[in-house]
Structure 1
Amino acid sequence: MTVTVTPRPTGHPGYSQTLPRQPESAAEARRLVRTALAAWRMDGLVEDAVTVVSELVANSVEHARCASIRVIVGRPTANTVRLGVVDRSKVLPVLRTEFTSIPLRGRGLLIVDRLTARWGTELYPWGKQVWGELWVEGR
C-alpha cells in the first residue's frame, strides 16, 4: 500500500495509508507512526503512539464492515500528534469501564483513553474517524 505524505498548514507533513481491514494491518500502522515520529524527531512518543494506533486499528478491524481502513498521523499543532483510523462504519465507539466474562476484550478504548491527552470521533456522511492525541511537553 502507498503512504501518502501531505503538506499541512502547520508546516508539518501529514502521513496516511489505506490498509486492508485485517489484524495484520496493525503492524503496518505502527510502521507509519514510527516513520512520522522519526521525521518529526519525537521518538519519546513512539511507545504510547504505537500502542494507541494498534488499539484503534484493532477496533476498526473488529467493528467496521468494509474491506479497508485509513490510518492517519498528523500534527494539528506543534505540540500535538493526532493518530486516527477512518472506516465506513457509523457506529460510535463506546468506552467501557466495566468488564464481564470475556477476558482481555473490550479494553482498547480504555487503553487509548489512558495513553492520550484526549480522544474522540469525527462522523462523516459515509463513516467515521476515531482519533487520539498525544501532547508533547516543552515544544
Structure 2
Amino acid sequence: MWNGPRALYELTGLPTWRVELPHTAAAVPVARSLVRTALAELEHGADCDTAELLTAELVANAVEHSSGDAPIELVVEVLPTGCQVEVHDRNPEPPGDMSFPGPAEEPDPWLEHGRGLLLIRTLSLSCGHRPTDSGKAVWFTLPAIPQQRHPTA
C-alpha cells in the first residue's frame, strides 16, 4: 500500500520527506520524482540529477535484493550542508562494501549489474548503511550547491 509523500519538519526545522513505495520496479520513477521535487524547493539544494540517479540505484537495489511485498521507505532529509537520502527495506543483510573499492574490486565492464554501489561511492559525499528494527537503511549524502544566478537582460 503506497501512502504518498509526507513532508515533515524534524527537530531541526528542516524538511524531511518520507514515502512508502511499492515493492516493484514502479517505485524507481516515483522515487526519482520525489527527490527532484524535494530538492527543487530548496534555496541551496543538491545536484538533482545526481540525487535522482543515486536514489534510483538504491531503490532498484532494495526491490531486487529484498523479498516479499512489504513497502520500501524513501527518506529525503534536507541538511544545512546538503541532503541525505535513505532507502529502507526489510532485508537485514548489508548491501555490499560501501567503502571505496581497490582496483581489484572494479566491476566487470561486460556485466549488466555491479555498478550501482560504485556510482553511489563515487558520486556522493558520503554513503553507508545501518541496521533498522525492520531490516536496514542504505543512505548517501550530497553537498549543497548554490543556485545559479541568471543575468538580467
Fold-level similarity (TM above 0.5) = yes
Report the identity percentage: 30
2:119 to 111, 118, 127: 111
**TM-score, normalised to structure 1's length?**
0.89
**Residue 72 of structure 2 corresponds to which residue in structure 1?**
69
Q: Quick one: which amino acid aligns to residue 115 of structure 2?
A: R
CA distance 1:64–1:136, shift in 2 (3 Å): same
Matches of 1:62 and 1:123, distance apart in 2: 18
Answer yes or no: is the 8 Å Cα contact 2:28–2:59 preserved in 1: yes
Residue of structure 1 equivalent to 2:133: 125
Following superposition, the deviation at residue 44 of structure 1 comes to 5.4
Larger Rg: 1 or 2? 2
Residue 43 of structure 1 and its aligned partner are, at CA, apart by 5.5
- Paired letter, 1:41: E
RMSD: 2.1
Where do residues 1-139 of structure 1 align in structure 2 (5 Å cutoff)?
1=2, 2-42=4-44, 45-67=47-69, 68-75=71-78, 77-95=79-97, 97-100=105-108, 103-137=111-145
The answer to whether the 8 A contact 1:66-1:87 is kept is no
What secondary structure, in the 3-state scheme, does the structure 2 residue paired with 1:35 have? Answer: helix
Match of 2:150 in 1: none
Amino acid in structure 1 at the alignment position of 2:120: V
Distance (Å, rounded) in 2 between the aligned partners of 1:98 and 1:48:
21
TM, length-normalised to structure 2? 0.81
Q: Output the CA distance in 1 between the equivalents of 2:25 and 2:133.
A: 26
**Matched-pair contact (CA < 8 Å) for 2:85–2:141:** yes
Is the 8 Å Cα contact of residues 90 and 123 (structure 1) preserved in structure 2?
Answer: yes
Residues in 2 aligned to 1:117 and 1:101: alpha-carbon distance in whole angstroms: 24
How far apart are the structure 1 equivalents of 2:43 and 2:145? 13
Q: Distance in 1 between matches of 2:146 and 2:88?
A: 30
Partner amino acid for 1:16? Answer: R
Shift of 1:42: 4.4
Conserved 8 A contact 2:82-2:145: no
Residues 23 and 131 (structure 1), Cα distance of their counterparts in 2 relative to 1, 3 Å cut: same
